[in-house]
């Protein structure tokens, strides 16, 4: 597992899951209700801070944030810019 | 032909006995909402008709007929009686939108207890405040939420029973916990329904205000009368409709129109227990051929943002009537839905305290995009001069929305807070706390709240609650919480924070505080933006001038600052 994937997965588990819940890199986060639209703001803030990027609001969609894998694709997109 | 036929004609000879007769109720009879929304429908020959078509986020589907709702709710009622729950006891429902939430609600009411649904995203502090205030005796929940209860149960001596509906035996139950499987437990055909009367308490919904802790809005069984008739005339539900109310039953829309209204009419409803994505929602409508859709402006604006692409991928031709609730529906959204779905969203205005719809747009009546509509027949509504509390005598003047008390679903009190209840009435008018104007055709136009309560995504958040929680963070010295405009949610929470000496202002502390509030209170209450300040604007008497901060966020005039403390 890439380090970014591990960091994002660990953060989501720590901040949004209850003790006995488990998720993987492709587990739905938004569509399952684990992270709702209001909580997405704090997840976006974490990513921006951690990877020193700025994600435009129109890119921070429920679809783009729905799994750890998809989130990492988004972060990579803005890491390069 | 619409159920209401003609709004203007209905105004002429309206009486709530119209609904009473249709429900077969007369004054003095036993009236139990739980019976009306399950047993009675079965007795009308609809026992085998689908009542609930449920879909989980992974596509799992469960279907329940009205006979299933009757039997399984009887099962809940029997279980509660066996553990010693008595009529009048408060029983909380703290679950995601799973079938047990809907059917458990019916069971609680059938045995005469008071149902207390709470939004499952509430953190342990929000949960504690509401359970403590209500003196809740039992809570029906899921295993994923039990950890929150374990943190607070020692402070809740009245909470004797934590009933877990999806316990799988993998970890031992702790004190006060018990497992209950709705589908495996005894579910008798008959249950001795509690003989509640019109004024017997049925439901407790917590709502946030400007000051103090959230208040428990108490409703009674007679609320069924206006919930039934508004469902019939505003949502226009008919026997062959497939209905979807997107609201969670933790909020009043999800009980009044997500359980009571549609089931009192014997209509089939669908529930989606999943996070929001446009594609998923449209797919749900297409799959189940939803005909009547009751949703919220925040969701509608999110759908607008998602654009036409997801719409084009789905056949939404089943939709025949769309309604909206929770916050004012902006004109742009009404025009958009007319373009996309060939019909507008009909805005409806009401609140937790009113229990049923108050000012609406009606099928067959001209919709003015951006207008709340007109008062429901039987409701006397006006706007008052804020200084005199008398109705304005000319059109177009902004004032306090006001209703003559006495409609069936009007709250009967705030739980153990009669003083706050009395304060909602002035000059024999009930004041919901909003401002509007009325045009020369009698249409109401929303202006804003009359207090500091934040309406974010259709849900009320108290600045006081958030500020109190912020003070519990070890780094926060002082805070002020106001609303700021948001394209999707209309308004969101913003916090101005003065940190304690020696605490560094950086991204770490900002994120830490956001997550602190999200977990302690709820995602809704989490500040979407934090601004760190050296000091907060205060009056000479030390009162924080929130309105100055708010005015700046909204681009409004700051107003009188003569009382502002000089630096």
Tell me if B563 is assigned to some domain: no
The CA distance from B321 to B171, in Å, is 47
Of B383, B406, B437, the last residue of a domain is: B437
CB contact under 8 A, A49 and B507: yes
**Strand (E) or helix (H) holding B230:** helix B224-233
Q: Which residues contact B138 (CB under 8 A, 6 or more apart)?
A: B80, B83, B85, B89, B91, B92, B159, B160, B161, B162, B163
Give the total number of structural domains in chain B. Answer: 2
Q: Out of B147, B275, B523, name the one closest to residue A19 (CB).
A: B147
Q: Give the closest-approach CA distance of A9 to chain B in angstroms.
A: 16
* Cα dihedral A34, B516, B92, B166 sign: positive
CB contact under 8 A, A36 and B302: no
The CA distance from B213 to B468, in Å, is 10
> What token pair was written down for B431?
């004041």
Tell me if B448 is assigned to some domain: no
pLDDT at A77 (0 to 100) = 92
CB contact under 8 A, A31 and B277: yes
CATH number at residue B509: 3.30.300.30
The CA distance from B558 to B379, in Å, is 37
Tell me if B408 is assigned to some domain: yes
Of B380, B405, B437, the last residue of a domain is: B437
- Closest of B296, B307, B359 to residue B330, by C-alpha: B296
Helix runs in B83-204, H state only: 99-110, 124-134, 146-152
Strand-strand pairing, B292-295 and B321-324: parallel
Considering the domain architecture, whether residues B90 and B173 belong to the same structural domain is answered as: yes
**Residue predicted with more confidence, A38 or B242:** B242
Enclosing domain of residue B433: 7-437
- 3-state class of B50 per DSSP? strand
Tell me the DSSP string of B355-372: -S--EE--TTSPP-TT--
Tell me if B442 is assigned to some domain: no
Q: Which residues contact B243 (CB under 8 A, 6 or more apart)?
A: B235, B237, B262, B267, B268, B269, B270, B290, B291, B292, B293, B294
Average pLDDT for residues B29-58, to the nearest whole number? 97
Asked if B341 contacts B281 with a C-beta cutoff of 8 angstroms, the reply is: no
Closest residue of chain B to A41, computed from CA coordinates? B528
Average pLDDT for residues B443-469, to the nearest whole number? 88
The CA distance from B193 to B30, in Å, is 10
Tell me if B524 is assigned to some domain: yes
CB contact under 8 A, B277 and A33: no
**Residue predicted with more confidence, A81 or B369:** B369
Considering the domain architecture, whether residues B222 and B286 belong to the same structural domain is answered as: yes
- 3-state class of B14 per DSSP? coil
pLDDT tens digits, B106-146? 999 999 999 999 999 999 999 999 999 999 999 999 999 99
CB contact under 8 A, B274 and A41: no
Q: Which of A16, A27, A37, A63 to mutate against chain B (most B CBs within 10 Å)? A: A37
pLDDT at B46 (0 to 100) = 98
pLDDT at A21 (0 to 100) = 80
Q: Which residues of B touch A (CB under 8 A)?
A: 57-58, 96, 121, 143-145, 147, 170-171, 273-277, 279-280, 302, 306, 456-457, 488-489, 492, 507-508, 510-511, 514-515, 518-519, 523-524, 526, 528
Considering the domain architecture, whether residues B533 and B384 belong to the same structural domain is answered as: no
- Choose the weakest-confidence range: B233-247, B255-269, B454-468: B454-468
Q: Give the closest-approach CA distance of A1 to chain B in angstroms.
A: 25
Considering the domain architecture, whether residues B270 and B299 belong to the same structural domain is answered as: yes
| Exposed / middle / buried, residue B422 (Cβ in 10 Å: 0-12, 13-18, 19+) | exposed
Q: What Cα–Cα distance (Å) separates residue B503 from each residue in B475, B476, B509, B539?
A: 7, 9, 9, 26
Q: How many CB atoms lie within 10 A of CB B13?
A: 8
Closest residue of chain A to B59, computed from CA coordinates? A32
- B245 band by pLDDT with thresholds 50, 70 and 90: very high
Considering the domain architecture, whether residues B402 and B508 belong to the same structural domain is answered as: no
pLDDT tens digits, B519-561? 999 999 999 999 999 999 887 777 788 888 999 899 887 766 6
CB contact under 8 A, A38 and B457: yes
pLDDT tens digits, B357-411? 999 999 999 999 999 999 999 999 999 999 999 999 999 999 999 999 999 999 9
CB contact under 8 A, A33 and B96: yes
Q: Which residues contact B100 (CB under 8 A, 6 or more apart)?
A: B140, B165, B182
Considering the domain architecture, whether residues B433 and B459 belong to the same structural domain is answered as: no
pLDDT at B43 (0 to 100) = 98
CB contact under 8 A, B273 and A37: no
Considering the domain architecture, whether residues B404 and B514 belong to the same structural domain is answered as: no
Residues of A in contact with B248 (CB under 8 A): none
pLDDT at B55 (0 to 100) = 97
Q: Is CATH 1.10.1200.10 the classification given to domain A3-79?
A: yes
pLDDT at B305 (0 to 100) = 87
pLDDT at A65 (0 to 100) = 95
Residue B476's beta-bridge partner residues?
B499
Residues of B in contact with A63 (CB under 8 A): 277, 279
> What token pair was written down for B154?
């020692």
Percent of chain B at pLDDT above 70?
98
Mean pLDDT, chain B, integer = 94
Residue B164's beta-bridge partner residues?
B141, B179
CATH number at residue B409: 3.40.50.12780
| Exposed / middle / buried, residue B296 (Cβ in 10 Å: 0-12, 13-18, 19+) | buried
Q: Is A26 on the interface with B (CB under 8 A)?
A: no
pLDDT tens digits, A45-55? 999 999 999 99
Q: Given a cut of 60, is residue B566 above it in pLDDT?
A: no
Considering the domain architecture, whether residues B404 and B476 belong to the same structural domain is answered as: no
* Cα dihedral B385, B390, B394, B400 sign: positive
pLDDT tens digits, B289-320? 999 999 999 899 889 989 999 999 999 999 99
The CA distance from B485 to B456, in Å, is 9
pLDDT tens digits, B56-68? 988 999 999 999 9
> What token pair was written down for B185?
């437990």
CB contact under 8 A, A33 and B275: yes
Q: Given a cut of 90, is residue B153 above it in pLDDT?
A: yes
Residue B449's beta-bridge partner residues?
B434
- 3-state class of B242 per DSSP? strand
ipTM entry: 0.88
Q: Given a cut of 70, is residue A1 above it in pLDDT?
A: no
The CA distance from B114 to B131, in Å, is 13
pLDDT tens digits, B350-359? 999 999 999 9
Q: Given a cut of 50, is residue B201 above it in pLDDT?
A: yes
Average pLDDT for residues B331-343, to the nearest whole number? 94
Residues of B in contact with A45 (CB under 8 A): 507, 510-511, 514
Residue B117's beta-bridge partner residues?
B93
Q: Given a cut of 50, is residue B567 above it in pLDDT?
A: no
Q: Is A36 on the interface with B (CB under 8 A)?
A: yes
Percent of chain B at pLDDT above 90?
85
Q: Give the closest-approach CA distance of A55 to chain B in angstroms.
A: 15
Residues of A in contact with B169 (CB under 8 A): none
Q: Which of A39, A50, A70 to mutate against chain B (most B CBs within 10 Å)? A: A39
Average pLDDT for residues B34-51, to the nearest whole number? 98
The CA distance from B343 to B203, in Å, is 34
pLDDT tens digits, B59-94? 999 999 999 999 999 999 999 999 999 999 999 999
**In this structure, what are the phi and psi dihedrals at residue B231, rounded to the nearest 5 degrees?**
-60, -45
Q: Give the closest-approach CA distance of B251 to chain A in angstroms.
A: 16
Considering the domain architecture, whether residues B459 and B406 belong to the same structural domain is answered as: no
pTM of the model: 0.90
pLDDT at B496 (0 to 100) = 96
- Please compute, for residue B250, the number of CA atoms within 13 A of its CA located in the half-sphere on the CB side: 20
């Amino acid at each position: 597992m890439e380090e970014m994937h591990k960091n994002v997965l660990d953060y989501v588990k720590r901040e949004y899951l209850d003790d006995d819940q488990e998720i993987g890199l492709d587990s739905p986060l938004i569509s399952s209700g684990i992270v709702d639209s209001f909580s997405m703001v704090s997840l976006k803030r974490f990513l921006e801070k951690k990877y020193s990027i700025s994600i435009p609001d129109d890119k921070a969609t429920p679809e783009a944030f729905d799994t750890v894998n998809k989130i990492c694709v988004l972060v990579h997109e803005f890491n390069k810019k | 032909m619409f159920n209401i036929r003609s709004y203007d004609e209905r105004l002429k000879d309206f009486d709530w006995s119209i609904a009473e007769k249709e429900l077969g109720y007369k004054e003095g009879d036993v009236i139990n909402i739980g019976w009306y929304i399950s047993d009675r429908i079965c007795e009308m020959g609809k026992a085998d008709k689908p009542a609930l078509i449920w879909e989980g986020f992974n596509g799992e589907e469960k279907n329940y007929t009205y006979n299933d709702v009757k039997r399984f709710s009887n099962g809940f009622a029997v279980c509660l009686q066996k553990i010693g729950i008595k009529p009048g006891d408060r029983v909380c429902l703290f679950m995601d939108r799973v079938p047990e939430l809907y059917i458990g609600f019916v069971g609680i009411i059938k045995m005469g207890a008071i149902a207390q649904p709470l939004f499952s995203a509430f953190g342990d502090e929000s949960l504690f405040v509401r359970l403590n205030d209500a003196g809740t005796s039992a809570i029906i929940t899921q295993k994923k939420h039990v950890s929150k209860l374990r943190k607070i149960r020692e402070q809740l001596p009245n909470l004797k029973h934590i009933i877990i509906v999806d316990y799988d035996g993998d970890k031992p139950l702790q004190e006060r916990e018990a497992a209950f499987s709705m589908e495996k437990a005894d579910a008798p055909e008959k249950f001795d329904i509690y003989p509640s009367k019109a004024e017997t308490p049925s439901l407790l919904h917590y709502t946030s205000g400007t000051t103090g802790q959230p208040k428990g809005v108490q409703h009674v069984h007679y609320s069924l009368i206006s919930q039934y008739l508004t469902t019939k005339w505003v949502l226009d539900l008919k026997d062959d409709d497939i209905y979807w109310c997107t609201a969670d039953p933790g909020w009043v829309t999800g009980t009044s129109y997500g359980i009571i209204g549609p089931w009192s009419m014997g209509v089939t409803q669908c529930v989606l227990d999943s996070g929001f994505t446009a594609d998923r929602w449209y797919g749900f409508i297409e799959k189940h051929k939803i005909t009547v859709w009751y949703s919220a402006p925040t969701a509608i604006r999110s759908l607008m943002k998602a654009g036409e692409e997801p719409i084009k991928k789905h056949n939404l031709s089943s939709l025949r009537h769309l309604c909206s609730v929770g916050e004012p529906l902006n004109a742009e959204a009404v025009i958009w839905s007319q373009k996309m779905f060939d019909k507008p969203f009909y805005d409806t205005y009401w609140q937790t305290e009113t229990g049923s719809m108050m000012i609406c747009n009606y099928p067959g009546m001209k919709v003015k995009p951006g207008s709340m509509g007109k008062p429901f027949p039987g409701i006397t509504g006006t706007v008052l001069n804020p200084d005199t509390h008398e109705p304005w005598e000319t059109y177009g003047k902004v004032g306090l929305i006001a209703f003559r008390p006495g409609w069936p679903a009007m709250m009967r009190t705030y739980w153990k807070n009669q003083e706050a209840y009395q304060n909602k009435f002035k000059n024999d008018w009930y004041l919901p706390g909003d401002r509007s104007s009325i045009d020369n055709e009698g249409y109401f136009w929303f202006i804003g709240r009359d207090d500091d309560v934040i309406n974010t995504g259709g849900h009320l958040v108290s600045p006081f609650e958030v500020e109190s929680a912020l003070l519990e963070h070890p780094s926060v010295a002082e805070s002020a919480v106001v609303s700021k405009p948001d394209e999707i949610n209309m308004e969101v929470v913003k916090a101005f924070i003065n940190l304690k000496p020696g605490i560094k202002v950086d991204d770490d502390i900002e994120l830490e505080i956001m997550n602190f509030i999200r977990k302690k209170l709820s995602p809704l209450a989490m500040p979407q933006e934090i601004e760190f300040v050296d000091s907060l604007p205060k009056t000479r008497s030390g009162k924080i001038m929130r309105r100055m901060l708010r005015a700046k966020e909204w681009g409004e005039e700051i107003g009188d600052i003569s009382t502002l403390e000089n630096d």
